[in-house]
Structure 1
Amino acid sequence: MTLQQLKYIIEIVNCGSINEAAKRLFITQPSLSNAVKELETEIGFDLFLRTPKGITLSVDGAEFLGYARQVVEQAGLLEQRYLSKKPSRQLCSISTQHYAFAVNAFVNLIRESGSDEYEFTLRETRTHEIIEDVKNLRSEIGILYKNPFNRKVIEKLLRENRLVFHPLFTAKPHIFVSSQNPLADRPFVTLEDLQDYPYLSFEQGEYNSFYFSEEILSTVYRKKSIHVSDRATLFNLLIGLNGYTISTGIVSADLNGDNIKSVPLKVEDEIQVGWIANHQIQLSMQAGAYIRELKAVIQLYGLTLTE
């Protein structure tokens, strides 16, 4: 087992395919495949499950990857300290529902990284894809929410995929509206107040289940409903159509300006936001730093962290 083989495995996981990893590593695909097979023969188990749709880590492979990342990180620190080599290229990948605080923390992570070279990835994506990304280790961390409606379904999926949910905070539901919306200055709103306004939500693709909705109260009937795929479009439509969406109440003026207001929604519900990770994997230093930045940002918004 060599350090180069460990780097190969990490790159394959980051890319999601052997072909793409071979291109990034500037070696041929057969050479990379042979290196993986030699390592699998040496350790006595398959690191990857090969299917017509591609490759995914095996259960043993996921555990192996955690150790491989630690070894490669420590080797980089040794080289930097004793061989006067520049710091290795920093890597970190996060998948998240569409939360401004997750982006704030990501910005802070990059600013504080102090690295001349890095390759960080932030995927604002669908709920099911977040779980798949973390399951297959395309991302080290996923950020999503649970509430009384979706809890059993989400927790079942996490158990089946060997993922653990770590609570960050619990929030009362709010709506986001344009600052020009007639509801913007209300102390709170009810569902009845909203019935004539367009409702905006993030579409969930082929996994369009009520349980995967990013917005609570997904089963409530709306006369006017619009599905979007990204946060910028949603905010533009909030302004252009006087629509609303439901979220945690955290809106970032730094990222979104002063055009969006948060108003409490008077319902008996709550939103518990947390991060998920593979329980067999020790987080990289960059992922650990992201969690710390995430907690710091949440506290800046005046929310209490869940211990």
Structure 2
Amino acid sequence: MDAHLRELRYFVAAAEESTVTAAAARLFVSQPALSKQLRALERRLGFDLFDRRPRGLTLTSQGSVLLPVAREVLAAWDRGYAEARAAAHPHQLVVGMQTAVGRDLQRPAVERFRATLPGWTVSLRLVGWDDPTAGLADGTSDVAFVWLPISTDFATRVLISEPRWVALPAQHPLADRAEIPFELLLDEPFVALPAAAGPLRDFWLAVDARPGPPVVAAEATAADEVLELVTAGVGIALLAEGNTGLYQRPGLVCRPVPDLPPAELAVAWRRIDNRDAVRAFLDSVQP
């Protein structure tokens, strides 16, 4: 019986997190979809991998036997894929981004990297919000600048912590305020990241600070699309303070929201990727 790599990733995440809720958040999938995939895998295997209890998941004896094997298979595949991809472009490092980085991070990092490895080139790749790993998950990026939270499958180093602000259309009734408490925004329609963004979508909707679910007026897969919808009056959106300068445009105003925890910009990489070029770039990134 053959198992797909995706199914093995689901199995490993569920085993390590011990709850479907935590595993689904880690994998950026919905809980029903994850439960369905795990059940389908068990049916094809012919035995249960988990005992499902009110407090979470525990491995069966069969699941305990398969878990280290699944980890080995995934680690071997990830190493092999990274090596095969590197062989196609032996001296190129791909850096993924979800938004414009700015903050004087990217340019000096690239310069230091090239000084360390002069035979290498750096390719910058803008990835939509529907992939919150900015290309790390599917291997199309070697390292990435990302906004947290991100799946624990990836290693991260926080570079900058910034207050969250809100972007409003210039004619909005709150636009004249110097700062806007989040309680005044609770009933406002928001422009959200796509559902595939998982916990990152929740962070930019400030779900943890709400007594109830947010009002979502629209979804967008890129920063420019978010701000176009805001400017058009479709909804409002939270953003990091540093991005208020990067994404200025007529008809848009940004104001601080003082009572929300800050946003964190990080550099991220695959934990198993120990290539010299990846290490050199990480060493080159300095806040």
Return the TM-score normalized by structure 1.
Answer: 0.51
Contact 1:96 1:130 in 2 (8 A): no
Q: Is the 8 A contact 2:110 2:122 kept in 1?
A: no
Q: Which residue of 2 aligns with 1:126?
A: 129
Q: Distance in 2 between matches of 1:229 and 1:262?
A: 20
- Alpha-carbon deviation of 1:193? 2.4
Whole-angstrom CA distance in 2 between matches of 1:140 and 1:246: 28
Paired letter, 1:226: A
Q: Which amino acid aligns with 2:93?
A: C
CA shift at 1:168, angstroms?
A: 1.0
How many aligned positions are there? Answer: 208
AA matched with 1:101: V
Native 8 Å contact 1:173 1:264 kept in 2: yes
C-alpha contact (below 8 Å) 2:167/2:238 kept by paired residues: yes
**Maintained 8 Å contact 2:169/2:253:** yes
Q: Structure 1 142/191 Cα, relative in aligned 2: closer, same or farther at 3 Å?
A: same
Q: 1:184 aligns with which of 150, 170, 175?
A: 175
Aligned match of 1:217 in 185, 206, 212? 206
Instruction: Give yes or no for the alignment of 1:279 onto 2:282.
Output: no
How has the CA–CA distance of structure 1 residues 260 and 126 changed in structure 2, closer, same or farther, with 3 Å as cutoff?
Answer: same
Q: Is the 8 A contact 2:207 2:214 kept in 1?
A: no
Per-residue CA distance 1:196-240 (angstroms, 9 max, x = gap): 543111113xx4645653515136333452212222221111111
Aligned to 1:139: 141
State the identity as a percent. 10
Shift of 1:288: 4.8
- Alignment partner of 2:136: what SS? helix
1:236-275 mapped onto 2 (5 Å cutoff): 236-241=228-233, 243-251=235-243, 253=245, 256-257=248-249, 259-275=251-267
Tell me which residue corresponds to 1:100: 100
SS in 2 for 1:100: coil
- In the alignment, structure 2 segments of 5+ residues that lack a partner are 1-72
CA distance in 1, matches of 2:238, 2:136: 25
- Aligned equivalents of 1:66 and 1:222: distance in 2? 39
Name the counterpart of 1:59: 75
Give, in angstroms, the shift of residue 173 of structure 1.
1.8
> Whole-Å Cα distance in 2 between the matches of residues 218 and 133 of structure 1?
25
Distance 1:133 1:91 in 2: 15
CA RMSD in angstroms comes to 4.4
Amino acid in structure 1 at the alignment position of 2:97: T
Distance 1:212 1:254 in 2: 21
Q: What is the match of residue 171 of structure 1? A: 162
List alignment gaps of at least 5 residues for structure 1.
Answer: 1-56, 74-87, 296-304
